[in-house]
Amino acid sequence: MIEILKRYFDTLPLDQAQRRVFNLPNVITLARLSIIPVLFFLLAAPGQTWSLVIAVTFILVSFTDLLDGYVARRYRIVTTMGKFLDPIADKLVLNTAMILMIPIGRIQAWVVALIVIRDFVVDGIRSIAQAEGFTIPASRLGKQKTLCQVFAISALIIHYPIFGADAHAVGTVILYLALFLSIYSGIDYLAKFYRIIVRKES
């Protein structure tokens, strides 16, 4: 399937500049954003069946994060637009899902606030470091935090008991783990940023 899509994109009448924007990894990333309108159905406090449908859709779309990275590495399609879109798409999808579950009582507002604030702080210090000529790469802790968020949000969207398990309780526990990793990885980024500033001043 990936090979077919890649051949299709190769046949499109685009010049080099256009291909840096309209390529397979970027289109997959943009497709991930298509889940956002679906997530707004959460505001209707869906019942058990529709909660499961939304959760399955969310899970499938979330896995495109792995797909676009795989395609970009395999075919060496690494572009500035892709570097910009990929993390933005992740944060938009995850944060939108969490925010929309606040009004229906599936997630606590303070947890979402801390995670969103951390993301803003980390994005800010990475941008400042880059402007100063330094790069702070994405850490393993940050990736683990994102993975925990995906599992937690999926379970919280399901909400109702499934296969004998309390999906809401499971999701809440994993979300607290994601919160811990979020704060811990945020401190790690701040420490790296401090070392960069010290190195620059010296």
Domain boundaries, the chain: 2-201
Chunk the chain into consecutive blocks of 10 residues (it has 202) and report each block's average pLDDT, rounded to whole numbers.
Answer: 68 69 79 91 94 94 80 74 81 94 96 95 88 80 91 96 95 97 93 82 66
What pLDDT does residue 41 have?
A: 94
What type of residue is 69?
G
What pLDDT does residue 137 have?
A: 80
What type of residue is 181?
L
What pLDDT does residue 82 have?
A: 74
Q: Six-digit token pair at 113?
A: 């606030």
What pLDDT does residue 17 have?
A: 67
Single out the residue of 112, 114, 116 nearest to residue 172, CA to CA.
Answer: 112
What pLDDT does residue 86 have?
A: 81
CA distances from 81 to 85, 91, 94 (A): 6, 16, 20
Hey, what CATH class is 2-201 in? Answer: mainly alpha
What pLDDT does residue 202 have?
A: 63
Q: Residues 91-123, buried b or exposed e (16+ Cβ, 10 A)?
A: bebbbbbbbbbbeeebbbeebbeebbebbeebe
**Residue in the block written with tokens 């959760």:** 55
